[in-house]
């Protein structure tokens, strides 16, 4: 079922209704406001989950800035998006896709790129420390996010997500709906000794994606495919689009693919979780929204639009990504101190208030770290938007500290179903 409209022309829906509450919780302004409220609460010493050490913020920012300059000496930093993982091992797989696509028009090239990026992002959650992917052409082995990106790229180019053998370079509703866990396992080289965390959850997510695409031909076309977003977003103005409009469309049309436990009277909320200290009006009270995968998907779809000559506006409205690399940076750099004495050994779930608050504080503190990083690098917010600070950046610094301290493992043990972390 398609979610509430995100059109600004619609009359506001009251927060006392499930549809109105869900719509309000899909706005990044709500994410930021609630995250910063929880941060202020923690700074005041009212949190039972975290203490905040503001004195460690400058050092954390310095770590990020130093790594950013080492990785990008010219400070020409791309967005933090799935396309970076398609470059793993210094292989330009975007160029490989262009070669495979051949002489298609600009719009169809963008549709294929969107198909690939959307499916690949949905397959990207923590892979676990024991999984890896061997790429025959480059004779390289990749793990974690890079491995998932490379594996999904080859699954896509092999036609795993297409229902038409004559048109393998696409992901369509029928192909996704037919995807089996066994076929995904084969494509991702899963076997004894090479286990992938959340495999069944990933396959189920893509099957649900196929179902919701088919239900909304007005957005995704016929045959329904993620690439239909290109036409839907440019229907009014073929030259420009707003990043938040893309996020809003993703959240409203794909809401039913996410686990159903997060809902208000049957209206699915997705990556939105209960926390007793979160304020809010009406039915939004007590809900902390994140939409991490949807926001990272938005970041990952910006480049196909830009490569097609479309001007993308409003990127600054998107938030930082509350996942275990950015959140781990804050713990490992000493900005956040977990208060539960067993925080490092206990197994947590995404719905635990401790994890919800960790993610919220991550969103808020990324907003504070970003200007400190820019000041060290001598650049402006226009020159280095948050999407590029993440790539430069906070995500890489989080991984670096995790590698130094724990061999790459995150600071917290979170049971994952493959849809959040």
pLDDT of the chain, 421 residues: tens digit per residue: 334 344 444 567 899 999 999 999 999 999 999 999 999 999 999 999 999 999 999 999 999 999 999 999 999 999 999 999 999 999 999 999 999 999 999 999 999 999 999 999 999 877 788 899 999 999 999 998 899 999 999 999 999 999 999 999 999 999 999 999 999 999 999 999 999 988 888 999 999 999 999 999 999 999 999 999 999 999 999 999 999 999 999 998 988 887 657 889 988 888 999 999 999 999 999 999 999 989 999 999 999 999 999 999 999 999 999 998 999 999 999 999 999 999 999 999 999 999 999 999 999 999 999 999 999 999 999 999 999 999 999 999 999 999 999 988 899 988 865 556 5
What pLDDT was estimated at residue 382? 92
3-state secondary structure of 355: helix
Among residues 363, 209, 337, which one has the least CA distance to residue 272?
A: 363
Whether 241 and 310 have beta carbons less than 8 Å apart is answered as yes
pLDDT value for 11: 60
Check residue 170 and give its pLDDT: 97
- Give the pLDDT of residue 5: 42
| CA atoms of 302 and 308, how far apart (whole Å) | 10
Using DSSP, state whether 194 is helix, strand or coil: strand
Alpha carbon distance 355, 76 (integer Å): 34
CB 128 within 8 A of CB 138: no
**In 258-310, at which residue ranges do the beta strands (DSSP E only) sit?**
263-264, 267-268, 272-274, 287-289
Encode 10-27: b = buried (16+ Cβ within 10 Å), e = exposed: eeebebebbbbbbbbbbb
Q: Which pTM does this prediction carry?
A: 0.89
End-to-end CA distance of the chain: 25
The whole-angstrom separation of Cα 116 and Cα 82 is 10
Residue 402 phi, psi (nearest 5):
-65, -35
What pLDDT score was predicted for residue 13?
83
Instruction: Kindly give, in sequence order, each residue whose CB lies less than 8 Å from that of residue 237, ignoring residues fewer than 6 positions away.
Output: none
Q: Which two tokens stand for residue 24?
A: 């309000």
pLDDT at 145: 87
What's the confidence (pLDDT) of residue 50?
Answer: 98
CA-closest candidate to residue 386, choices 28, 6, 22? 28
């Amino acid at each position: 079922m398609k979610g509430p409209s995100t059109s600004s022309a619609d009359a506001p829906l009251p927060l006392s209704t499930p549809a109105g509450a869900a719509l309000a919780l899909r706005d990044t302004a709500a994410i930021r406001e609630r995250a910063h409220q929880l941060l202020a609460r923690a700074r005041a010493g009212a949190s039972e989950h975290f203490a905040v050490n503001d004195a460690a913020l400058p050092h954390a920012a310095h770590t990020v800035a130093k790594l950013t300059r080492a990785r990008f000496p010219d400070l020409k930093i791309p967005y933090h998006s799935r396309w970076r993982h398609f470059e793993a091992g210094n292989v330009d797989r975007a160029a490989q896709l262009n070669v495979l696509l051949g002489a298609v028009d600009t719009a169809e090239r963008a549709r294929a790129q969107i198909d690939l990026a959307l499916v690949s992002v949905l397959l990207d959650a923590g892979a676990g420390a024991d999984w890896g992917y061997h790429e025959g052409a480059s004779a390289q082995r990749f793990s974690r996010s890079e491995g998932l990106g490379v594996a999904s790229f080859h699954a896509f180019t092999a036609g795993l997500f297409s229902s038409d053998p004559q048109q393998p370079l696409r992901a369509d509703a029928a192909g996704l709906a037919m995807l089996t866990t066994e076929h995904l396992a084969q494509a991702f080289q899963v076997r004894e000794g090479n286990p992938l965390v959340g495999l069944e959850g990933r396959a189920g997510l893509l099957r649900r994606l196929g179902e919701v695409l088919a239900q909304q031909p007005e957005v995704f076309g016929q045959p329904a495919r993620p690439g239909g977003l290109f036409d839907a977003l440019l229907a009014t103005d073929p030259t420009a689009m707003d990043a938040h409009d893309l996020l809003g469309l993703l959240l409203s049309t794909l809401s039913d693919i996410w686990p159903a436990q997060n809902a208000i009277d049957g209206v699915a909320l997705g990556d939105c979780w209960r926390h007793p200290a979160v304020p809010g009006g009406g039915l939004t009270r007590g809900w902390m929204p994140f939409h991490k995968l949807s926001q990272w998907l938005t970041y990952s779809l910006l480049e196909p639009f830009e490569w097609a000559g479309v001007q993308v506006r409003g990127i600054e409205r998107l938030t930082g990504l509350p996942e275990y690399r950015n959140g781990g940076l804050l713990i490992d750099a000493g900005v956040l101190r977990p208060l539960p004495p067993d925080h490092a050994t206990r197994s947590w779930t995404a719905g635990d208030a401790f994890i919800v608050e960790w993610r919220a504080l991550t969103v808020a503190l990324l907003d504070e770290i970003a200007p400190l990083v820019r000041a060290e690098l001598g650049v402006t917010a226009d020159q280095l938007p948050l999407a590029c600070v993440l790539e430069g950046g906070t995500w890489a610094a989080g991984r670096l500290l995790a590698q130094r301290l724990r061999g790459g493992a995150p600071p917290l043990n979170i049971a994952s179903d493959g849809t959040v972390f």
